[in-house]
């Protein structure tokens, strides 16, 4: 999952579609994100590569839309509705996720278990 | 009404490689002879019984009708098919011929043994199969003979018969049952087959999930109901099941029985200390005998238990029998395994009671035992529970129908306690198990047991060699020791229960027993006066036997092996809970725990393993962190050699001398930084090159408590754990470690900052948990002894601190306790002291309004006082007064409310609550009390801008400010707290 901005990314991704939930005036997704190119990647507890400045799912509201959609803590968000999320600031990511006019968010995420599952199915060892 | 004799010799099979074929054959022959002898005796017995029955001049079928009634009840309870069962029962049965197939393991040759017993008394027995089968046959026969010994010969009245008159038919019958159960499905007699089927059906319908086995047995009891010895059969059949594992103990347990068998019968069990009314009178007539049968129900339970081979290895608490029983009835591997143990036992006692006469002699049993067999079989599990329930004032509906029969009763408490001293081990263990059940959530019974002097007896049983006995005793003690009634705990201690528990812990490898022991110790450890006793007797044992092995820590790690992770077993949880309790017993307790070999190392290892596995929410982790926190309390005063590490500057400044000294220093210094940092400045300056004391070897034992390395561990816990207690304890540990003036606390304070711990702590100020907020607030206060920490906390934690304060009468959402509010106020006071910058932050955080409100209106004197301190400190910064006046405040707002005088302020440490020791560090060295005038000086000196190096990056980082602003404001405070941006976390 090592990732260097500007270089091609290879990742096993999963599509996740989250139907936002209306809470008062807000539409919420029920998860929180961490990371971004303006953040200290060394503090990201979820990334394997501590230089990874990607956007990660840090918390999930139990029973919230994200949990329902099977998003998981530690997932790395690659795209939001087609927008790249691998080279964005934290706030850009947040804005893309919280557009008021969009009721549905389509994520491309990757997670370690996905990669491993694919590798196992291919029968080769995970590359280091 | 004749009973039918059925002989069913075999129980178990196993490979016996040890014995030669020849000896096996010889043995077979020998056994066969005995077998025949037995059969004859049996037949004679049968006639005897009949005669007696007739002589008794009873109504045509008294014995029959009686049991039948009961059994009907049972049937109704357990199975919708009772109608059929009853019908079956009434059918006369002339001959039963059964063929039983015994299977050992799948794939092993089976052996067929047919035994045909006609009512004329002749018995034919056929064996088939090869040599290996012969081995099995041998065993079967052996089993039979041995079993004979164990049978209770019962007269028509259900009481044990005098020797020579025992109705052997009864046990042969039971053997038969057993055989069928084990063996399975091949029945020559249709009747038997159908019975079996029905029995199995019953089991499915049974609401108590009984195993087929118990159902089966019960059914047989019913099936035989038209014979005189109805329930005896049932019981015996059950008894047969558990025979084998007992054998090794038989020689012991028999002797006492023999000695008093006859007297018992005559003098109403006078040897038993407690009165046993119904039992005594039960001999009088048939009807009365029933209660007796029912009474010792739990023994029946126990007996079941003993039958289970693997039970020794796989203990079960209350219903081992059933699970095991079901295993037994399963074909396949389980079964083979189950049989192994019993067979071994058979082998051991081989030849012991082969002689039928001798067997009969031995057969004379204590009525308890007798009762054990005649306990209602219908529901072995519920049965025992039920009897217990009744005693405890509860009822189990399932057996209520039995209950309604006034002739049946459970033993009362004195009886049960008396049974603890019974010579027969199963009686003891059953009584103990019964007590455990009775005591469960019943404080009254616990008290009664205590007053009836049951506790010393139970403690005595802890040293009993048989696991069954000490396990049950321990279970009872665990329940008794639980609860608010400390008298029970004291009673256990007073009869040396604690050393006995520890002894047993050393001795046993049985996980269940260990769980019970440590659970009991945990219960006991909650009572203050017992803590030291537990430490004295059990600390090192618990550490060596449980903590170290389960923590995964190794004294001398093998380089080849990977470090092991901790195992969060129940035993570990219990033991750590016990140590957690005892660790709060004061300085001596802490000293003992710190110096306990391997304890701190193991606890740290376990916690590191928890962090590594991200498994930090469980109780064991909580316990470990709590122990660590408690042991960290006053380390700077209590650990050996602590004086060598005392901070010299701190030594100069005890109590109120501090401010004085500082004042002088200020006067003499040019730069504010140096001056104000008198307390901490030097450390700060040196931090980057701070030399941790060099070590030639890695630290170990209690030294680990205060090594800067632990900071990361606690911070990980604070970041990751969801468990409030763990969070509180981890924050408390940091609080304890950062208190005091010694070299290590300087390191710790600096390390927390270096490891970016401040934002983690600040984040936790938002916790919903009162005690977490409190511990974090106090930790921040101690950390702010470090000047740089103070500046950072002042800049970035102020808003969160203030938001926890109540505004006027209105409490914040969290509604924090007084202690917490006071702690927060004291922390605020600490961070605005000596820092006008921080005081400015406080004003900007809209705190003045809240502080004034607390000062004026709080119901709590302590809150008022603490708020007043803060206000006075703020007002002391003259350069802030303009701004304050503009906001509409005047001097009167910053005056102490009526009660608190400035004098008091000066001397009193602001309400630092120390009562919850060792949760928090006592305010010492006077750092939290600062003279106002001093402060002004400080402030001026400060004004030059010290700590540029530390703050500058923050200030320059406009970019960060930008994104911080875009997030929820609360987060930004955390973020900006250190040089590097802290992880931002945005809900979307």
Mean pLDDT, rounded, for B257-286: 34
Q: Which residues are registered as beta bridge partners of B124?
A: B116
Q: With a cut of 80, say whether residue B488 has pLDDT above it.
A: yes
H helix or E strand, kind and range, residue B101: strand B96-102
E strand residue ranges, B369-444 = none
Q: How many CB pairs under 8 A join A and B?
A: 58
With beta carbons under 8 A apart, name residues in chain A contacting B987: 28, 31-32, 59
Cβ under 8 Å to B: A residues 66-95: 89-91, 94
Identify the band that residue B53 occupies on the pLDDT scale cut at 50, 70 and 90. Answer: low
Burial class (CB in 10 A: 0-12, 13-18, 19+), B564: middle
Show me where the domains of chain A are located.
Answer: 14-121
Find the angle CA(B757)-CA(B761)-CA(B765) to the nearest 5 degrees.
165
Picking from B720, B963, B982, the nearest residue to A89 by CB comes out as B963
DSSP 3-state of B29: helix
CB atoms within 10 A of CB B800: 24
- Mean pLDDT is highest, among B140-154, B180-194, B308-322, B544-558, for B544-558
Which among B717, B720, B834, B733 has a CA at the least distance from the CA of B787? B834
Q: With a cut of 50, say whether residue B542 has pLDDT above it.
A: yes
CB atoms within 10 A of CB B811: 12
CA A124 to chain centre: 26
Identify the band that residue B161 occupies on the pLDDT scale cut at 50, 70 and 90. Answer: very low
pLDDT of residue B50: 67
Picking from A32, A89, A90, the nearest residue to B987 by CB comes out as A32
Model ipTM?
0.78
CB atoms within 10 A of CB A84: 13
Torsion of CA B603, B608, B614, B616, to 10 degrees: 30
With beta carbons under 8 A apart, name residues in chain B contacting A34: 983-986
Cβ of A91 within 8 Å of Cβ of B987? The answer is no
Q: Strand A76-80 and strand A104-110: pairing?
A: antiparallel
Q: With a cut of 80, say whether residue B799 has pLDDT above it.
A: yes
pLDDT of residue A5: 57
Cβ of B988 within 8 Å of Cβ of A98? The answer is yes
The full DSSP string for B127-171 is: E-S-HHHHHHHHHHHHHHHHHHHHPPPB-TTSSBPPTT---HHHH
Q: With a cut of 80, say whether residue B91 has pLDDT above it.
A: no
Mean pLDDT, rounded, for B215-222: 39
Q: Tell me which of B107-111, B360-364, B374-378, B810-814 is least confident.
A: B107-111
- Mean pLDDT taken over chain A: 83
Burial class (CB in 10 A: 0-12, 13-18, 19+), B446: buried
Q: Strand B96-102 and strand A21-23: pairing?
A: unpaired
What residue has token string 């059964």? B98
pLDDT of residue B211: 40
Burial class (CB in 10 A: 0-12, 13-18, 19+), B162: middle
What residue has token string 């009468």? B809
With beta carbons under 8 A apart, name residues in chain A contacting B719: 45
Task: Provide Rg for chain A, Cα atoms.
Answer: 15
From first CA to last CA, the distance across chain A in angstroms is 10
Report the alpha-carbon distance of residue B780 to residue B762 in Å, rounded.
Answer: 8
Q: What is the CATH code for A14-121?
A: 2.30.42.10
pLDDT of residue B850: 87
Q: Quick one: closest CA in A to B965, which residue?
A: A91
Mean pLDDT, rounded, for A31-43: 87
Mean pLDDT, rounded, for B980-984: 52
CA distance B958 to chain A (A): 11
pLDDT of residue B959: 32
Phi, psi for residue B243 in degrees, rounded to 5: -45, -60
Q: With a cut of 50, say whether residue B160 has pLDDT above it.
A: no
Q: Tell me which of B264-268, B431-435, B511-515, B579-583 is least confident.
A: B264-268
Q: With a cut of 70, say whether residue B598 has pLDDT above it.
A: yes
pLDDT of residue B560: 62
Q: Which two tokens mark A10?
A: 């290879």
Picking from A38, A58, A59, the nearest residue to B959 by CB comes out as A38
pLDDT of residue B784: 92
Helix ranges (H only) for B206-332 are 212-223, 230-246, 250-266, 277-282, 286-294, 297-306, 320-329
Which among B373, B212, B232, B384 has a CA at the least distance from the CA of B298? B384
Q: Tell me which of B359-363, B663-667, B829-833 is least confident.
A: B663-667
Q: Which two tokens mark B598?
A: 């391997």
Q: With a cut of 60, say whether residue B879 has pLDDT above it.
A: yes
Cβ of A58 within 8 Å of Cβ of B959? The answer is no
Report the alpha-carbon distance of residue B305 to residue B323 in Å, rounded.
Answer: 10
SS3 content of chain A, % helix, strand, coil (to 5): 20, 30, 50
Distances (CA, A) of B847 to B777, B823, B914, B930: 16, 15, 26, 20
**Do residues B143 and B100 make contact, with C-beta atoms less than 8 angstroms apart?**
no
With beta carbons under 8 A apart, name residues in chain A contacting B959: 38
Q: With a cut of 60, say whether residue B42 has pLDDT above it.
A: yes
**Do residues B12 and B143 make contact, with C-beta atoms less than 8 angstroms apart?**
yes
Picking from B966, B980, B986, the nearest residue to A40 by CB comes out as B980
Q: Tell me which of B24-28, B183-187, B410-414, B813-817 is least confident.
A: B183-187
With beta carbons under 8 A apart, name residues in chain B contacting A112: none
Mean pLDDT, rounded, for B621-629: 94
Picking from A29, A39, A45, the nearest residue to B984 by CB comes out as A39
Mean pLDDT, rounded, for B403-429: 82
Per-residue HEC secondary structure of A81-125 comes to CCEECCCCCHHHHHHHHCCCCCCEEEEEEECHHHHHHHHHHHCCC
Please give the domain boundaries of chain B with CATH numbers for all domains. Answer: 411-526 (1.25.10.10), 756-893 (1.25.10.10)
Helix ranges (H only) for B56-210 are 62-78, 82-90, 131-150, 168-183, 190-205
Tens digit of each residue's pLDDT (9 = 90 or more) over B688-704: 445 566 666 778 888 89
Cβ under 8 Å to A: B residues 953-982: 959-960, 962-963, 966-967, 980-982
Mean pLDDT, rounded, for B683-689: 44
pLDDT of residue B683: 43
DSSP 3-state of B23: helix
What residue has token string 């259900």? B158
Q: Quick one: closest CA in A to B611, which residue?
A: A45
Q: Which residues are registered as beta bridge partners of A98?
A: none
Tens digit of each residue's pLDDT (9 = 90 or more) over A80-108: 998 889 888 898 899 889 888 888 999 99
Q: With a cut of 50, say whether residue B175 has pLDDT above it.
A: no
* Structure-model confidence comparison of residues B968 and B473, the more confident one: B473
Picking from B980, B986, B987, the nearest residue to A90 by CB comes out as B986
- Mean pLDDT taken over chain B: 62
Q: Which residues are registered as beta bridge partners of B274?
A: none
Q: With a cut of 70, say whether residue B679 has pLDDT above it.
A: no
Q: Tell me which of B249-253, B322-326, B529-533 is least confident.
A: B322-326
Q: With a cut of 70, say whether residue B122 has pLDDT above it.
A: no
- Mean pLDDT is highest, among B10-14, B102-106, B536-540, B793-797, for B536-540
With beta carbons under 8 A apart, name residues in chain A contacting B986: 32-34, 90-91, 94
Q: Which two tokens mark B876?
A: 């002391």
CA distance B890 to chain A (A): 41
Q: With a cut of 90, say whether residue B680 has pLDDT above it.
A: no
Identify the band that residue B470 occupies on the pLDDT scale cut at 50, 70 and 90. Answer: very high
CB atoms within 10 A of CB B183: 22
Q: With a cut of 90, say whether residue B516 has pLDDT above it.
A: yes
pLDDT of residue B231: 37
Tens digit of each residue's pLDDT (9 = 90 or more) over B708-732: 889 999 999 999 999 999 999 999 9
Helices B454-461 + B467-481 axis angle, to 10 = 140
Q: Which two tokens mark B975?
A: 């973020």
Q: With a cut of 50, say whether residue B867 has pLDDT above it.
A: yes
Report the alpha-carbon distance of residue A26 to residue B470 in Å, rounded.
Answer: 63
- Mean pLDDT is highest, among A16-20, B292-296, B881-885, B892-896, for A16-20
Report the alpha-carbon distance of residue B949 to residue B946 in Å, rounded.
Answer: 8
Q: Which residues are registered as beta bridge partners of A18?
A: A105
Mean pLDDT, rounded, for B364-387: 39
CB atoms within 10 A of CB B664: 13
Identify the band that residue B588 occupies on the pLDDT scale cut at 50, 70 and 90. Answer: very high
pLDDT of residue B56: 57
Q: Quick one: closest CA in A to B967, which residue?
A: A91
pLDDT of residue B559: 63
Picking from A42, A45, A91, the nearest residue to B966 by CB comes out as A91
Q: Tell me which of B43-57, B172-186, B302-316, B902-916 is least confident.
A: B302-316
Q: Tell me which of B734-738, B906-910, B912-916 is least confident.
A: B912-916
DSSP 3-state of B727: helix
* Structure-model confidence comparison of residues B739 and B917, the more confident one: B739
Identify the band that residue B804 occupies on the pLDDT scale cut at 50, 70 and 90. Answer: confident
Cβ of A90 within 8 Å of Cβ of B967? The answer is yes
**Do residues B761 and B666 make contact, with C-beta atoms less than 8 angstroms apart?**
no
Mean pLDDT, rounded, for B627-641: 89
H helix or E strand, kind and range, residue B744: helix B743-754
pLDDT of residue B942: 28
Q: Which two tokens mark B944?
A: 């030059």
Q: Is A32 an interface residue toward B (CB < 8 Å)?
A: yes
Cβ of B985 within 8 Å of Cβ of A33? The answer is yes
Substitution target in A34, A43, A64, A109 with the highest count of B β-carbons within 10 Å is A43
DSSP 3-state of B126: strand
pLDDT of residue B27: 72
Cβ of B982 within 8 Å of Cβ of A58? The answer is no
pLDDT of residue B809: 54
Cβ of A94 within 8 Å of Cβ of B988? The answer is yes
Q: With a cut of 50, say whether residue B919 has pLDDT above it.
A: no
Q: With a cut of 50, say whether residue B49 has pLDDT above it.
A: yes
With beta carbons under 8 A apart, name residues in chain A contacting B974: none
What is the b/e burial string over B308-325, where b = at least 16 CB atoms within 10 angstroms of the residue's CB? Answer: bbbbeebbeebbbbbebb
Picking from B719, B959, B986, the nearest residue to A32 by CB comes out as B986
Q: Quick one: closest CA in A to B759, which residue?
A: A43
**Do residues B639 and B745 make contact, with C-beta atoms less than 8 angstroms apart?**
no
Report the alpha-carbon distance of residue B16 to residue B274 in Å, rounded.
Answer: 46
């Amino acid at each position: 999952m090592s990732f260097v901005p500007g270089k091609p990314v290879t990742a096993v991704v999963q599509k996740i579609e989250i139907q936002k939930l209306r809470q008062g005036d807000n539409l919420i997704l029920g998860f929180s994100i961490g990371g971004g190119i303006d953040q200290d990647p060394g503090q990201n507890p979820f990334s394997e590569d501590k230089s990874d400045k990607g956007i990660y799912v840090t918390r999930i509201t139990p029973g919230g839309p994200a949990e329902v959609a099977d998003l998981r803590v530690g997932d790395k968000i690659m795209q939001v509705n087609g927008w790249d999320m691998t080279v964005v600031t934290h706030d850009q990511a947040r804005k893309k996720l919280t557009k008021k006019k969009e009721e549905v968010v389509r994520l491309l995420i990757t997670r370690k278990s996905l990669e491993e599952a694919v590798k196992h199915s291919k029968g080769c060892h995970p590359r280091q | 009404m004749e009973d039918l004799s059925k002989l069913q010799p075999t129980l178990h099979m196993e490979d016996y490689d040890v014995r030669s074929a020849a000896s096996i054959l010889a043995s077979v022959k020998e056994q066969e002879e005995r077998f025949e002898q037995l059969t004859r005796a049996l037949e004679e017995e049968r006639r005897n019984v009949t005669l007696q029955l007739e002589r008794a001049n009873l109504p045509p079928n008294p014995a029959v009708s009686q049991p039948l009634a009961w059994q009907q009840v049972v049937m109704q309870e357990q199975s919708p098919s009772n109608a059929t069962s009853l019908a079956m029962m009434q059918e006369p049965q002339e001959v039963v011929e059964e063929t039983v197939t015994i299977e050992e393991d799948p794939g092993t040759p089976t052996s067929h043994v047919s035994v045909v017993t006609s009512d004329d008394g002749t018995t034919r027995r056929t064996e088939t199969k090869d040599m290996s089968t012969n081995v099995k046959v041998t065993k079967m026969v052996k089993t039979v003979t041995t079993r004979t010994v164990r049978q209770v010969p019962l007269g028509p009245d259900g009481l044990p018969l005098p020797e020579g008159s025992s109705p052997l038919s009864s046990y042969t019958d039971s053997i038969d049952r057993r055989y069928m159960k084990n063996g399975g499905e091949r029945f020559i007699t249709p009747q038997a087959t159908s019975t079996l089927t029905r029995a199995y059906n019953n089991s499915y319908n049974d609401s108590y999930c009984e195993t087929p086995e118990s159902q089966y047995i019960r059914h047989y009891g019913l099936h035989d109901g038209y014979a005189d010895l109805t329930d005896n059969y049932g019981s015996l059949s059950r008894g047969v099941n558990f025979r084998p594992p007992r054998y090794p103990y038989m020689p012991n347990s028999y002797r006492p029985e023999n000695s008093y068998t006859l007297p018992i019968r005559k003098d109403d069990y006078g040897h038993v200390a407690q009165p046993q009314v119904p039992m005594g009178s039960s001999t009088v007539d048939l009807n009365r005998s029933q209660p007796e049968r029912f009474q010792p129900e739990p023994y029946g339970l126990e007996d079941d238990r003993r039958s289970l081979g693997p039970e020794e290895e796989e203990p079960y608490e209350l219903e081992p029998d059933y699970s095991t029983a079901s295993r037994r009835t399963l074909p396949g591997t389980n079964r083979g395994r189950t049989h192994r143990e019993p067979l071994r036992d058979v082998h051991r006692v081989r030849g012991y009671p082969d002689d039928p006469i001798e067997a009969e002699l031995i057969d004379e049993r204590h009525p308890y035992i007798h009762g054990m067999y005649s306990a209602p079989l219908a529901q072995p599990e519920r049965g025992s529970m039920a009897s217990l329930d009744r005693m405890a004032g509860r009822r189990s509906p399932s057996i209520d129908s039995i209950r309604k029969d006034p002739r049946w009763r459970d033993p009362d408490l004195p009886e049960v306690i008396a049974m603890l001293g019974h010579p027969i081990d199963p009686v003891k263990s059953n009584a103990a198990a019964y007590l455990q059940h009775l005591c469960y959530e019943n404080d009254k019974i616990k008290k009664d047991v205590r007053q009836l002097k049951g506790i010393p007896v139970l403690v005595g049983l802890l040293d009993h060699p048989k696991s069954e006995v000490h396990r049950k005793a321990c279970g009872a003690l665990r329940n008794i020791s639980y609860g608010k009634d400390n008298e029970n705990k004291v009673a256990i201690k007073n009869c040396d229960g604690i050393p006995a528990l520890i002894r047993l812990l050393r001795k046993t490898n049985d996980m269940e027993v260990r769980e019970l022991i440590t659970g009991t110790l945990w219960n006991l450890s909650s009572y203050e006066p017992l803590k030291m006793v537990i430490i004295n007797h059990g600390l090192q044992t618990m550490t060596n036997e449980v903590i170290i092995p389960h923590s995964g820590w190794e004294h001398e790690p093998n380089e080849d092996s990977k470090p092991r992770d901790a195992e969060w077993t129940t035993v570990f949880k219990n033991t750590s809970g016990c140590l957690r309790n005892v660790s709060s017993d004061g300085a001596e307790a802490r000293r003992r725990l710190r110096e306990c070999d391997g304890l701190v190392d193991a606890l740290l290892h376990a916690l590191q393993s928890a962090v590594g596995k991200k498994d930090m929410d469980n109780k064991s982790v909580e316990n470990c962190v709590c122990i660590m926190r408690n042991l960290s309390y006053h380390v700077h005063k209590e650990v050996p050699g602590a004086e060598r590490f005392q901070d010299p500057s701190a030594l100069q400044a005890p109590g109120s001398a501090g401010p004085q000294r500082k004042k002088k220093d200020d006067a003499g210094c040019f730069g504010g930084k140096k001056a104000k940092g008198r307390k901490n400045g030097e450390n700060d300056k040196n931090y980057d090159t701070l030399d941790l004391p060099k070590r030639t070897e890695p630290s170990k034992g209690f030294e680990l408590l205060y090594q800067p390395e632990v900071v990361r561990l606690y911070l990980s816990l604070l970041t990751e754990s969801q468990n409030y207690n763990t969070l509180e304890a981890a924050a408390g540990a940091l609080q304890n470690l950062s208190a005091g003036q010694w070299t290590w606390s300087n390191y710790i304070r600096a390390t927390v900052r270096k490891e970016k711990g401040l934002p983690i702590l600040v984040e936790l100020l938002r916790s919903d948990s009162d005690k977490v907020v409190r511990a974090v607030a106090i930790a921040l206060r101690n950390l702010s002894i470090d000047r740089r920490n103070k500046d950072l906390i002042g800049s970035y934690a102020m808003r969160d601190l203030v938001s926890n304060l109540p505004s006027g009468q209105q409490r914040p959402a969290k509604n924090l306790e007084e202690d917490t509010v006071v702690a927060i106020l004291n922390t605020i006071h600490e961070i605005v002291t000596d820092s006008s910058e921080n005081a400015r932050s406080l004003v900007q955080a809209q705190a003045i309004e809240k502080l004034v409100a607390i000062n004026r209106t709080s119901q709590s004197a302590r809150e008022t006082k603490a708020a007043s301190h803060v206000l006075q400190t703020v007002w002391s910064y003259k350069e802030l007064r303009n701004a304050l006046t503009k906001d509409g405040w005047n001097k009167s707002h910053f005056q102490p409310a009526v009660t608190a005088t400035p004098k008091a302020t000066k001397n009193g440490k602001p309400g630092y609550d120390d009562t919850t020791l060792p949760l928090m560090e006592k305010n010492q060295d006077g750092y939290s009390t600062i003279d106002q005038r001093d402060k002004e000086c400080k402030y001026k000196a400060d004004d030059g801008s010290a700590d540029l190096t530390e703050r500058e990056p923050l200030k320059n980082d406009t970019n960060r400010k930008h994104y911080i602003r875009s997030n929820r404001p609360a987060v930004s405070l955390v973020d900006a707290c250190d040089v590097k941006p802290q992880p931002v976390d945005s809900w979307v």
